[in-house]
Amino acid sequence: MPRKDINGNDFAHHSDFPVNPQVRNIEFAAGKAFFGKREFPNCFLTDITIPQVDHFMQHPADYELQDCHYLDERCDYLTVQTNGRTFDNVIFCNPIMIGFRGKFETKYFLEKVHDLLADNGTVIVLGSSTNVWSKFSNLQRYYGKLKEENDLDYDFEFELQVVDANHPYRQNHTFYRSNLSDTAVPNQLIHIKKA
Amino acid sequence: MENIASVSNALDNFELSTDYRVKNYVKNFNSHVDFLIETTSEINKASIAKDKKFTFTDAIYWQCEASILENLDDVTDSEVLGKLDDLEDKLYSKLISSLGKFYRNGDRSWIDKMLDMTIQNTLLGLKFEYFSASNRYRNPWTEATDILLDNRLIYTFSDDVDHLKDLGLKISDKDSNEIARKLVGVAGKGNKKDFATGYFRDLTALRNMLYNFLESIADNSAKAIKKELIVKEIRDMGVKPEQLTDNNIQSWLIDPLKQTNRIGSNKDGYFVINTGSDLIASYNSHFENFKGFYRTLERHKRLAEKFDVPIEKLDRHHKFVGDQNLNAEDPEDSLF
């Protein structure tokens, strides 16, 4: 039986990136996972590389049994062009290569957030407190440094939630690392909003 | 491995390099990648690079880092974390200052990427020593730290060598065969307008094939096999001498397997370390070599007066051994 989103609908493939105005959410660096499609219906799933497995639409009847990916578009977060359109939710699930691994990575991440996020929108970063790309303490520290040094033109607000083993995200998903034999265990959920 | 205070002190008189002729930074980055993969494999108790089709990618690099940190990083000591934060501030300040006009006038997006990569790797190398399980694994950031402190470069890398061509990376024509096409580009930046560029070959898959071969016929120290047989096996796999010379097989395949403790050796050849007895066999063999080198160095030292050479120039082996002992947390771990 095909996987359903949180509203009970089948997963949809959106081939009309980035124009479809009904698709208000976007996930970057999704890999083979489907976190955004399940938890934030009407979501473009994207990654900089396409996994070397079938797309889920090639197996409409039983894709949940297949090793497949759910991507709608190949793109890089920092260079993606969306022709000025914005999103209600910009999602990162166990990110690598995007995020807070250093002061300048944080600067470029937040500058892009400003471009992509609707004024009342939210960036969702789900990850481990030891993942240097997603750890909240890195975001706090580097944001403070960038503002102190006048190297970031925009203001943001952050909120941290602890994600324990009973959290629905951990109950409903297994976060495989695509190329390794282990899984990631997120314990932090960060919300970022424009101030 | 350096400690936080020694790195901080080293920064007081630190300047980035103005000489790109020595390519040691590429070798250091290659070793860093090898140890990153090896440590991840040991943590996950499965060789992530076992697949013969395995190809190193940027994503694998970052997934290995994430896996290591998620499994090992348990540092909560606020004093340690505070010292690392202070060092981080000093690193950004010192390196940007050392880049000078090449930072202010350069392509900031590339240089910022290099600064973050270099500084975070240096901090991870130091933090690793505080992980409670650090003594069970090889610190994969040691060689990355050496690129900053010894080669005096900030750096980045990419499995997409075309991506680094804008920085001046040139690929030799002779590397157009299939094996050598698996390249990883490394770009460094010192106190110069241009970039240092180089590349290394991703030979992980071939190393794994060799390891599997050794496991099948040399799975203990009593079944050690000579290099000549290893070379023959590689040739039987279809790898021609013009693609990989006998010396390349030694330095690019056999030596990295030894450096990551996957195989050992004795006077009879190479073998997989599967038991304590294999480990002792390899250790004893290397200890004999070590004693031979030590005695040679001591004999050289005795000639210092005759050739009017300052004694400290011929006493570096003692300093090296002393440093190893100082770095050993437990006196029982020291060399003597």
For B221-234, write each residue's pLDDT tens digit.
999 999 999 999 98
DSSP string across A152-176: ----EEEEEEE--TTSHHHHH--EE
In angstroms, the CA A156 to CA B144 distance is 34
CATH number of A25-194: 3.40.50.150
Amino acid making up residue B262: R
Indicate whether B291 and B260 sit together in one domain.
Answer: no
Indicate whether B88 and B171 sit together in one domain.
Answer: yes
Tell how strand A183-184 and strand B183-189 pair up.
Answer: unpaired
SS3 B24: helix
Indicate whether B155 and B19 sit together in one domain.
Answer: yes
Residue A145 in tokens: 């440094």
Low-confidence ranges of chain A (pLDDT < 50): none
Indicate whether B118 and B179 sit together in one domain.
Answer: yes
Q: What phi and psi values does residue B275 have, to the nearest 5 degrees?
A: -140, 170
B233–chain A Cβ distance below 8 A for any pair = no
ipTM of the complex: 0.92
- Distance (Å) from the alpha carbon of A61 to chain B's nearest alpha carbon: 30
Residue numbers of the domain that contains B328: 276-333
Place of tokens 């007895």: B277
Indicate whether B128 and B235 sit together in one domain.
Answer: no
Place of tokens 């440590």: B39
Beta-carbon contacts of residue B183 (< 8 Å; ≥ 6 apart): B161, B171, B175, B199, B200, B201, B202
Choosing from B201, B225, B242, the residue where a domain stops is: B201
- Distance (Å) from the alpha carbon of A180 to chain B's nearest alpha carbon: 6
Indicate whether B162 and B286 sit together in one domain.
Answer: no
* Cross-chain Cβ contact B40/A180 below 8 Å: yes
Helix axes B58-72, B108-128, angle to 10 degrees: 30
Contact B125, B22 (CB under 8 A): no
Indicate whether B232 and B285 sit together in one domain.
Answer: no
Indicate whether B186 and B93 sit together in one domain.
Answer: yes
Chain centre distance of CA A117: 12
Number of domains chain B contains: 3
Indicate whether B95 and B219 sit together in one domain.
Answer: no
Q: Which of A59, A63, A113 is nearest to A91 (CA)?
A: A113
| Residues from chain A contacting residue B48 (CB–CB below 8 Å) | 179-181
In angstroms, the CA A183 to CA B25 distance is 32
Indicate whether B297 and B168 sit together in one domain.
Answer: no
- The pLDDT, as a whole number, for residue B334 is 39
Amino acid making up residue A113: V
H helix intervals, B58-141: 58-72, 78-99, 101-104, 108-128
Q: What's B112's DSSP letter?
A: H
List the 94-113 stretch of B: residues with Cβ below 8 A of A.
109, 112-113
Choosing from B201, B224, B254, the residue where a domain stops is: B201
- The pLDDT, as a whole number, for residue B62 is 94
| Residues from chain B contacting residue A101 (CB–CB below 8 Å) | 116, 120
Low-confidence ranges of chain B (pLDDT < 70): 1-2, 47-53, 172-181, 323-336
Contact A33, A23 (CB under 8 A): no
Beta-carbon contacts of residue A94 (< 8 Å; ≥ 6 apart): A126, A127, A128, A131, A134, A175, A177, A184, A186, B66
- Distance (Å) from the alpha carbon of B116 to chain A's nearest alpha carbon: 5
Indicate whether B73 and B137 sit together in one domain.
Answer: yes
Amino acid making up residue A135: K
A181–chain B Cβ distance below 8 A for any pair = yes
Indicate whether B255 and B285 sit together in one domain.
Answer: no
Choosing from B170, B201, B232, the residue where a domain stops is: B201
